[in-house]
């Protein structure tokens, strides 16, 4: 830790927040302002530095481009010399994964509220041609106010410009990955995010995944063989319109999934219905 304090001049590293295969995230204090912040940097033991730097730059590009309430504020970047890193605001809250571990599942009203906020960001992101690339509970922060922040845009791709990362890493997380990304030649599309969000909604409502955990090949086979009727059965007792939306989001064929902008309208209507019904 002392080495990190020396490396990131102007910042006092407080603690390790997260560590992935490519990056490390620290809680820190900006010594000039005294304000808390977060530093994201590259792992020193990752063998492919050029690839890792591409991930970091990719995320910086998104944070610079997307101005949305659910997107963290970027404060500083350094991609010119080592150590490569960026600084963003410190968010006071817990990950959705932590909250699911504590509560197991959420009521439909809270799920609708969280989903509508995520969809608002995705609608903005998709409108500019970008995917998020890794929607999952670990990448969603719930603030004390109930507002959410979406993290980790490293896997984002510009579908409109046909720009994608050259990597030997899986683009996404197995339990949340869309079927078309499991193929021998992965198909990157905006609808990848819609599928992942469908899995996330299902998990928030039921406390379990729509399909059992497994390898990528097992996941793909389940996607192809498990009928929507099974999903409907697992979601029994919920608003049929909400169930229909989730099943459509989990469609095996990406062309059958609704667009983020349309889903925003649908989930706003769900929120209004809940308010009317009390």
Eight-class DSSP state of 172: S
The catalytic position among 4, 30, 45, 134 is 134
Contacts 24+ apart (CB under 8 A), 183-191: 183/220, 187/254, 188/131, 188/157, 188/159, 188/164, 189/131, 189/159, 189/254, 190/126, 190/129, 190/131, 190/159, 190/259, 190/260, 191/254, 191/255, 191/257
265 is known as an active-site residue: no
What backbone phi and psi angles, to 5 degrees, belong to 88? -135, 170
Of the candidates 169, 136, 128, 152, which has an alpha carbon nearest to the alpha carbon of residue 59?
152
Rg of the chain in Å (alpha carbons): 19
Residues constituting the chain: 278
Beta bridge partners of 19: 24
Question: In this structure, what token pair is assigned to residue 127?
Answer: 């409108």
Q: Alpha-carbon distance 12 to 27, whole Å? A: 9
Eight-class DSSP state of 130: B
Residue 95's H or E segment, with its range, is strand 93-95
Specify whether the CB–CB gap between 125 and 131 falls below 8 A.
yes
The residues annotated as belonging to the active site are 134
């Amino acid at each position: 830790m002392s080495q990190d304090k020396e490396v990131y001049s102007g910042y006092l590293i407080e603690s390790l927040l997260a560590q992935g295969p490519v990056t490390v995230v620290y809680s820190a204090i900006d010594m000039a302002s005294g304000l808390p912040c977060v530093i994201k940097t590259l792992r020193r033991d990752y063998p492919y530095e050029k690839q890792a730097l591409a991930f970091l730059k990719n995320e910086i590009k998104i944070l610079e481009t997307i101005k949305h309430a659910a997107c963290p504020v970027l404060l500083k970047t350094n991609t010119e010399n080592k150590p490569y890193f960026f600084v963003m605001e410190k968010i006071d809250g817990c990950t959705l994964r932590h909250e699911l571990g504590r509560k197991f599942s959420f009521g439909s009203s809270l799920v609708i509220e969280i989903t509508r906020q995520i969809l608002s960001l995705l609608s903005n992101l998709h409108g500019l041609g970008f995917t998020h690339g890794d929607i999952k509970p670990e990448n969603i922060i719930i603030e004390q106010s109930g507002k959410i922040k979406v993290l980790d845009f490293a896997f984002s791709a510009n579908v409109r410009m046909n720009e994608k990362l050259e990597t030997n890493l899986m683009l996404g997380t197995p339990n949340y990955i869309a079927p078309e990304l499991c193929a021998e030649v992965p198909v990157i599309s905006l609808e990848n995010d819609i599928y992942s969000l469908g899995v996330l909604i299902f998990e928030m409502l039921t406390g379990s995944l729509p399909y059992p955990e497994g390898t990528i090949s097992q996941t793909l086979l389940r996607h192809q063989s498990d009928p929507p009727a099974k999903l409907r059965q697992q979601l029994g007792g919920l608003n049929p319109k909400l169930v229909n939306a989730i099943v459509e989001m989990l469609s095996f064929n990406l062309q059958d999934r609704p667009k983020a902008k349309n889903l925003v309208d649908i989930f706003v209507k769900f929120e209004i219905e809940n308010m009317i019904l009390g």
